[in-house]
Chains A and B, each alone.
Chain A
Amino acid sequence: MAAPALAKGKSSPAAEKFLSEPEIAKLKRVKVDLVAPPMVHKHEQVASGAPRIVEFRMEIEEKKMVIDDNGTTLQAMTFNGSMPGPTMVVSAGDYVELTLVNKASNAMPHNVDFHAATGALGGAKLTNVNPGEQVTLRFKADRPGTFVYHCAPEGMVPWHVVAGMSGTLMVLPRDGLKDPAGNLLRYDTAYTIGEFDLYIPKDENGKYKDYKTLAESYGDTAEVMRKLIPSHIVFNGKVGALTGEGALKAKVGETVLLIHSQANRDTRPHLIGGHGDWVWETGKFANPPEKDLETWFIRGGSAGAALYTFKQPGVYAYLNHNLIEAFELGAAGHIVVEGKWNDDLMKQIKAPGPIVA
């Protein structure tokens, strides 16, 4: 009886097959155009064919960004101009082939460390690019899950990460997401949320400082970082980025996958008025998801994923449930849901009014 059980464990090292370079060269290639967060590029949830080489291209862009409604600025560093960088999706067994471009207009050297990859500091050692250079890295995405990627230049890793350089690589199981009983779980829409703890220095009058250049923001920023108290904590680059015009959208009956990355600091996502129907809070799909979660927990340095099927219309808040971090520092967004109200799930029996004895 032990034999079938062993055969099921596909990840046992003895069962691993490593392809030779000629074998890899024969794999089908696909080129994927990335889209800006919170959207995720079109992808298959169940792989329809054999492993492929999936080509991506990202440009690093350093720029000054306004990060709150008071005009506070961050000397930011980004993959593709956004915080977070775009989410890349492949299936387990596919090869990721990333071309990383460091625009000539940038000032700093950069690279990329994929938590999904194996060897060479996640690829960081093989992707050091100065302004005006590009590099191409290939790695096998052999573990399913949501994984952080981030810049990690030796000697100044935390600064590049907290200045914006992180995103998610989602590696789907080839046969799709499963509940603990092995039933297929599907989503209609995937949204990607990157949470960023920011460390903006203040001047002697208590006002946030604005810097002429990225390099000039370094010394003061490092001092704020060392105190471990963020000045702002934002979703997708700015206080309120996912509210109003930027709010996420869904319909009653729609199943949404919420991917949440935090490359540096812990967070605890919660959907007000909703739940996590199925949650991989450590983000690795070979593990059974947990059910019915009120609040889940993303470790700093990881990405997690939650599935939810909306049952009621209205405006939901999706936030970090340290409510000071959410409402004072910025870690909150909205999901606007259309559809029909369900009185069985909730009903206001008597509207607020004067107290009656």
Chain B
Amino acid sequence: GLASVAATAAAQTVNPAGEKLYKTACIACHSTGVAKAPKLGDKNAWAPLIASGMDAMMEIAVKGKGAMPPRGASSADDATLQAAVEYMVQASR
């Protein structure tokens, strides 16, 4: 329906480097929720994070939080990291 058309359109504007980084590294914890990591696709877990805004999520992504290492223990730059956050947000709305 219309919703899926809109989702497809949104997906096309997303930087594909985000999904790539997610599948390389972030997936280690965020696919199953290792050490209380918010799981990809878990709407309830992600809602408050999404509500906190991209700046706040990027702050966590860059600096780390709890068991989450800085940059998710990757060597990705800020743009790629943000693309991965955007990918996870989109999959978890």
Please list the residues of chain A having a beta carbon within 8 angstroms of any beta carbon in chain B: 107-109, 128, 130-131, 153-156, 159, 212-216, 218-220, 222
Among B23, B32, B75, the residue within 8 A (CB) of A212 is B75
Neighbouring A residues of B11 by C-beta, 8 Å: none
Who on chain B is nearest to A130 by CB? B67
Establish whether residues B66 and A130, one from each chain, have CB atoms under 8 Å apart when the complex forms: yes
Establish whether residues B33 and A155, one from each chain, have CB atoms under 8 Å apart when the complex forms: yes
Establish whether residues B32 and A213, one from each chain, have CB atoms under 8 Å apart when the complex forms: no
B27 interface contact, C-beta 8 A: yes
**In the complex the two chains form, what is the Cα distance from A338 to B24 in whole Å?**
50
Please list the residues of chain B having a beta carbon within 8 angstroms of any beta carbon in chain A: 23-29, 31-35, 66-67, 69, 72-75
Of B25, B31, B72, the most chain A CB neighbours within 10 A belong to B25
**In the complex the two chains form, what is the Cα distance from A218 to B67 in whole Å?**
16
Q: Interface on chain B toward A: helix, strand, loop, or mixed SS?
A: helix
**In the complex the two chains form, what is the Cα distance from A226 to B37 in whole Å?**
23
Neighbouring B residues of A218 by C-beta, 8 Å: 24-25, 27-28
Among A107, A131, A220, the residue within 8 A (CB) of B24 is A220
Who on chain B is nearest to A154 by CB? B34
Of A128, A131, A155, A214, the most chain B CB neighbours within 10 A belong to A155
Given contacts A109-B67, A130-B66, A219-B24, contact A213 B35 (CB under 8 A): no
Among B26, B31, B32, B73, the residue within 8 A (CB) of A108 is B73
Given contacts A215-B74, A216-B75, contact A131 B25 (CB under 8 A): no
Neighbouring B residues of A156 by C-beta, 8 Å: 28-29, 32, 34
Q: Identify 23 residue pairs between A and B in the complex whose beta-carbon atoms are under 8 Å apart, listed by A's number.
A: A108-B73, A109-B35, A130-B35, A130-B66, A130-B67, A131-B69, A154-B34, A155-B35, A156-B28, A156-B29, A159-B28, A213-B25, A213-B73, A214-B73, A215-B25, A215-B69, A215-B72, A215-B73, A215-B74, A218-B27, A219-B23, A220-B24, A222-B28
